[in-house]
Structure 1
């Protein structure tokens, strides 16, 4: 395949991915069945008495209750929610998901409670583990394959006697 054709196909694929990402970001809030932080801002009463799924950062831990800050896209706290009876431990600064009925006094006894990050250091650990895993995978791949910049392709580093040469059609 000619280099110009490869670059053209690559450009079309990248434009398609970027277009899908923009469309997803633009329509996310209208298709999400639960209120986001921006929708809750100044309008919490509209969602009281309803089943909601909220994401937030744990601000304080007291006996059998957590204080969770739900934020908008600008990271401003729009709802300080008291969650009673969580079954898992979480530290202040951790991130949780709570699903249940939002009460008028801005409390909730969740039907479901999920700890996303149990502490602020958990996020750094996840990112570091992902980075190391990605580097190991890339290293293993590049050990087996080499990049041919001129043809914009990958070629095996070690050809065995069992492989057949496939002629280049370009």
Structure 2
């Protein structure tokens, strides 16, 4: 029996167990880390959320530069809903179809007064670009790794070529 392989496998299992345990702990305490109401709560009972600070992600449907507002679609477990975001700076170089995150005060059933607006994706085409670049990078990393290293599955080890 190759005790080196058993040791490496044991360390890998121990580390993965630790990561899993931290994930379970974080999930069980998630309510204390996130002070904002869930977007599903905002959709289901908007009257109870009036005046509270919310943090939402949404896809821009329309931008009104004259009134400095935008209408965004927010996806929830109960289905999508739209809200109007006031104090939306039109200087953000974002187009309809782009994704933004908004922190602000929920004013009424369909209005959020924005304190902060951050652009996640300026346009719908940004996702395609990000995925394409990530795929190219992953392929390059695998090619370089295989070029310099050899994986031995029987002994669970990696050695130089």
What TM-score bracket applies, with the shorter chain setting the length?
0.7 to 0.9
In structure 2, runs of 5+ residues without a counterpart are: none
The one of 98, 103, 108 aligned to 1:99: 103
Separation in structure 2 between the aligned mates of residue 23 and residue 70 of structure 1, nearest angstrom? 28
SS at match of 1:57: strand
Runs of 4 or more, structure 1, over 6 Å off, are none
SS at match of 2:120: strand
**C-alpha RMSD of the superposition:** 2.3
Partner of 1:167: none
Partner of 1:61: 63
In structure 1, runs of 5+ residues without a counterpart are: 158-170
Q: Is the 8 A contact 2:58 2:72 kept in 1?
A: yes
Separation in structure 1 between the aligned mates of residue 150 and residue 11 of structure 2, nearest angstrom? 21
Gap change, CA 1:59 and 1:24, over 3 Å in 2: farther
Q: Is the 8 A contact 1:35 1:54 kept in 2?
A: no
SS at match of 1:97: strand
TM-score, normalised on structure 2?
Answer: 0.80
Partner of 1:135: 139
Task: From the CA coordinates, give the structure whose radius of gyration is larger.
Answer: 1
What displacement does 1:25 show?
A: 4.2
Separation in structure 2 between the aligned mates of residue 147 and residue 89 of structure 1, nearest angstrom? 47
Q: Is the 8 A contact 2:55 2:103 kept in 1?
A: yes
What displacement does 1:59 show?
A: 2.1
Partner of 2:159: 155
Give the number of aligned pairs: 155
Separation in structure 2 between the aligned mates of residue 123 and residue 23 of structure 1, nearest angstrom? 32
